[in-house]
C-alpha cells in the first residue's frame, strides 16, 4: 500500500501542466538528438543543463531524463531506415533493422522497435519504483568506508565498459579524479592546483567540463569526418506487424527487458552492453540463426527493448546511492547539486515529491514517445537534411550563452573551449571522455569519504577491510579489475566496439 501511495504522490506531481509540458519537450528533443548522428543525449543534456537552472528542480530533472530515454527511442529510427545509428546503443539495431527496410519491411521493424521500447520502458519503470526504496534504506546504513569502497568499485567497473584499452580508461578516471581535486581543500581550505587563478578557487565548473568534453569535442570530431546523411526513404507502409511478426517478437521483448533492467545499473555503458548482449542471446537461442543479419525481426525487438530498459534502470544507483551509471547520470547529479539537492539515499525522504514525480514521469514519457515516434517518422528523417555547417555552430552558440548565463563569467566560456580541445585530443588518442567525467564527478566523493573514514578510525586504514560491506566491495573491485584486463574480455570488448563503430 505504501508503494501505491508513493506512486499516487508521484503521478500527482508528474501530471502538473508544466511537468507534462517539459516532459514532452524532453522526449521530443531526445528523439531528435537520437535521430541526428553525432550529437547524442550526453552532449544535449550537457548543453541544456544551464537552461534548466531557472526551473523547479523536479521540472528540470523530468526534462533532462526525458532527453536521455527519448534518445534511446530516436536512435533506432535512422538505424533502421538508412543504416546510420543516431545513438551508440542503436548500432546493433541496424544489423537487422536496415535489412528489413531494404526488403520493404521498414514499417514492421519500426513498430517492433517502438513496441519493444514502450514495453521495456514501462516494466523497467515499475522495477525502478519497486527496487529504489529498499536500496535507499540499505544505503542509509553505509558508513564513510563503505561509501569509499562503493565509489571505487563503480569506477573500476566502468573501466570494463569503456572504449579502448583498460589502461587508457584507468588513466581517464585518474585524470578526472585529479581535475575534481582542483580548488580549496574540503577540510583545511588550502588552495590546490589553482596556479594563482582566482576563478579556480571554487573548483572547475562542472557544466564547462561536460559541455566541452561531450559537446564541443564531439562536434569537432564529426566536422572532421562528416558522413553523408542524405535520406532516400520510400514511403513507410504496413506499419503494424503481421500476426507472425507479433508472435516472434513477444519472447525477445521480454528477454531484452530482463537483460536491460539488470545490466542498466552497471557503471559505464550498461545500455550499450545490454543491446549487444540481447542480440547475442537472441541469435544463440533462435531456431533461425541464419536469418540474423539478413532481416530477423527478433534482432530488432530484443536489443531495442534491452537498451530502453537499461536507460530506465540506470536511474536506480543515481536515486538510491547518488552514483552515476552513465555520463548522462553524472550530468543529472550536476542538476541535483545546482538545485541544492544532495543526490543519494536521503532524497526519497527529504524530497518525496521529486523522487516519485521523476519516476512517474518516465511512464508518461514512454506513452508520449510511443505517440511521437511512429506518426512522425517523416519529420525525423527530414531532420537529417539539416547541414552540419548550420546545425553545429548554432549548438555551440547556445551552449556558450547558457554556460555564461550561470555566473556571468567569461572564464566559464574559455573553459568550454579548453575542455573541448582536450576532449578532441583524447578522442584522437583513442581515449574515451566518459570515464574522465565519471572520475570528475565521483572524485570529490571518493576523497571526502576516504578522509572521513580515516578521521573516524584515527588514521587506521584497516577500517576498509574490517567493515564487511567495505571489504566485500573492495574484493569485487579487485575481481572487476582482473576481469577487465583478461585477454578474453579484452577481445570481446574490441569486437563490441568495432561493431558499434
pLDDT band at 21 (very low <50, low <70, confident <90, very high): very high
Question: Which region among 13-17, 120-124, 284-288, 357-361 has the lowest average model confidence (pLDDT)?
Answer: 284-288
Residue 491's pLDDT is 59
The top-scoring range by mean pLDDT among 82-96, 173-187, 399-413 is 173-187
Q: Which of these, 183, 159, 185, 161, lies nearest to 173 by C-alpha position?
A: 159
- Mean pLDDT, range 99-118, rounded to an integer: 84
pLDDT band at 7 (very low <50, low <70, confident <90, very high): confident
SS3 230: coil
Neighbours of 165 (CB within 10 A): 17
Beta strands in 205-317 (DSSP E): none
CA 379, CA 28: separation in Å to the nearest integer?
A: 12
249 pLDDT above the threshold of 90 = no
Beta strands in 76-212 (DSSP E): 183-184, 191-192
CA 181, CA 192: separation in Å to the nearest integer?
A: 7
Is 500:91 a contact under the CB 8 Å cutoff?
Answer: yes
Question: Which region among 59-63, 119-123, 152-156, 484-488 has the lowest average model confidence (pLDDT)?
Answer: 484-488
- SS3 annotation, 118-142: HHHHHHHHHHHHHHHHHHHHHHCCC
CA 359, CA 436: separation in Å to the nearest integer?
A: 28
Is 65:315 a contact under the CB 8 Å cutoff?
Answer: yes
Q: Where are the domains of the chain?
A: 2-144+167-431
- Mean pLDDT, range 173-198, rounded to an integer: 86
Q: What string of DSSP letters covers 369-390?
A: HHHHHTTTHHHHHHHTTS-HHH
Q: Which of these, 452, 451, 449, 445, lies nearest to 206 by C-alpha position?
A: 445
Q: What is the pTM of this model?
A: 0.74
Among left, alpha and beta (phi > 0; psi -120 to 50; other), residue 104 is left
For residue range 382-412, what is the model confidence (pLDDT) as tens digits?
Answer: 766 677 677 778 777 877 776 776 677 788 8
501 pLDDT above the threshold of 70 = no
293 pLDDT above the threshold of 70 = yes
Residue 238's pLDDT is 67
For residues 300 and 394, the model is more confident at 300
24 pLDDT above the threshold of 90 = yes
The top-scoring range by mean pLDDT among 314-323, 344-353, 356-365 is 356-365
Which residue has 578521521 as its cell numbers?
455
Residue 253's pLDDT is 92
For residue range 455-484, what is the model confidence (pLDDT) as tens digits?
Answer: 988 888 898 998 888 999 899 888 878 877
Q: Which of these, 83, 68, 58, lies nearest to 29 by C-alpha position?
A: 68
* Phi, psi values for residue 192, rounded to 5°: -130, 130
pLDDT band at 23 (very low <50, low <70, confident <90, very high): very high
Neighbours of 124 (CB within 10 A): 28
Q: What is the mean pLDDT of the chain?
A: 80
Instruction: List, in order, residues 6 or more apart from 242 with CB less than 8 Å away.
Output: 108
- Mean pLDDT, range 205-215, rounded to an integer: 79
- Mean pLDDT, range 330-342, rounded to an integer: 83
CA 444, CA 452: separation in Å to the nearest integer?
A: 12
Residue 107's pLDDT is 80
pLDDT band at 418 (very low <50, low <70, confident <90, very high): very high
Residue 112 has which C-alpha cell? 517492433
Residue 20's pLDDT is 93
For residues 9 and 87, the model is more confident at 9
- Mean pLDDT, range 495-500, rounded to an integer: 49
C-alpha distances (whole Å) from 9 to each of 58, 93, 242, 309 are 13, 37, 40, 23
231 pLDDT above the threshold of 50 = no
22 pLDDT above the threshold of 90 = yes
For residues 253 and 164, the model is more confident at 253
pLDDT band at 489 (very low <50, low <70, confident <90, very high): low
* Phi, psi values for residue 40, rounded to 5°: 85, 160
Amino acid at each position: 500500500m505504501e508503494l501505491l501511495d508513493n506512486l499516487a504522490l508521484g503521478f500527482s506531481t508528474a501530471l502538473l501542466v508544466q511537468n507534462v509540458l517539459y516532459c514532452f519537450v524532453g522526449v521530443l528533443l531526445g528523439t531528435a538528438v537520437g535521430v541526428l548522428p553525432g550529437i547524442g543525449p550526453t552532449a544535449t543534456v550537457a548543453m541544456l543543463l544551464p537552461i534548466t537552472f531557472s526551473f523547479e528542480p523536479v521540472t528540470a530533472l523530468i526534462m533532462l531524463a526525458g532527453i536521455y530515454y527519448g534518445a534511446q527511442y530516436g536512435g533506432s529510427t535512422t538505424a533502421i531506415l538508412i543504416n546510420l545509428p543516431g545513438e551508440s546503443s542503436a548500432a546493433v539495431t541496424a544489423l537487422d533493422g536496415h535489412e528489413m527496410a531494404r526488403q520493404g519491411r521498414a514499417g514492421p521493424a519500426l513498430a517492433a522497435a517502438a513496441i519493444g521500447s514502450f514495453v521495456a520502458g514501462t516494466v523497467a519503470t515499475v522495477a525502478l519504483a519497486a527496487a529504489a526504496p529498499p536500496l535507499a534504506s540499505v544505503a542509509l546504513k553505509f558508513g564513510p568506508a563503505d561509501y569509499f569502497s562503493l565509489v571505487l568499485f563503480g569506477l573500476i567497473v566502468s573501466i570494463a565498459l569503456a572504449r579502448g584499452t583498460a589502461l587508457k580508461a584507468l588513466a581517464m578516471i585518474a585524470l578526472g579524479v585529479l581535475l575534481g581535486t582542483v580548488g580549496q581543500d574540503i577540510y583545511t581550505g588550502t588552495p590546490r592546483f589553482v596556479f594563482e587563478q582566482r576563478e579556480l578557487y571554487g573548483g572547475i565548473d562542472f557544466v564547462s567540463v561536460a559541455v566541452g568534453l561531450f559537446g564541443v569535442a564531439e562536434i569537432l570530431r564529426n566536422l572532421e569526418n562528416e558522413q553523408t546523411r542524405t535520406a532516400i526513404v520510400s514511403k513507410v507502409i504496413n506499419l503494424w506487424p503481421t500476426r507472425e511478426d507479433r508472435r516472434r517478437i513477444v519472447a525477445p521483448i521480454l528477454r531484452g527487458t530482463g537483460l536491460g533492467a539488470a545490466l542498466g545499473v552497471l557503471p559505464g555503458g550498461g545500455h550499450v552492453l545490454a543491446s549487444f548482449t540481447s542480440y547475442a542471446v537472441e541469435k544463440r537461442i533462435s531456431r533461425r540463426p541464419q536469418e540474423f543479419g539478413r532481416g530477423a525481426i527478433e534482432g530488432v525487438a530484443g536489443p531495442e527493448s534491452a537498451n530502453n530498459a537499461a536507460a530506465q534502470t540506470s536511474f536506480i544507483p543515481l536515486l538510491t546511492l547518488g552514483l552515476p551509471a552513465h555520463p548522462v547520470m553524472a550530468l543529472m547529479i550536476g542538476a541535483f547539486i545546482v538545485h541544492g539537492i544532495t543526490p543519494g539515499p536521503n532524497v526519497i525522504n527529504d524530497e518525496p515529491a521529486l523522487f516519485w514525480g521523476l519516476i512517474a514521469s518516465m511512464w508518461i514519457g514512454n506513452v508520449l514517445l510511443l505517440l511521437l515516434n511512429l506518426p512522425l517518422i517523416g519529420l525525423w528523417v527530414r531532420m537529417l537534411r539539416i547541414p552540419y555547417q548550420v546545425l553545429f555552430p548554432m549548438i555551440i552558440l547556445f551552449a556558450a550563452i547558457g554556460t555564461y548565463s550561470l555566473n556571468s563569467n567569461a572564464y566559464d566560456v574559455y573553459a568550454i573551449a579548453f575542455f573541448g580541445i582536450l576532449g578532441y585530443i583524447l578522442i584522437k588518442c583513442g581515449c574515451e571522455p566518459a570515464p574522465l567525467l565519471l572520475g570528475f564527478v565521483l572524485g570529490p566523493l571518493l576523497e571526502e569519504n576516504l578522509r572521513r573514514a580515516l578521521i573516524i578510525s584515527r588514521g587506521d586504514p584497516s577500517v576498509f577491510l574490517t567493515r564487511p560491506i567495505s571489504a566485500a566491495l573492495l574484493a569485487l573491485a579487485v575481481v572487476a579489475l582482473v576481469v577487465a584486463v583478461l585477454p578474453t574480455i579484452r577481445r570481446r570488448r574490441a569486437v563490441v566496439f568495432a561493431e558499434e563503430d
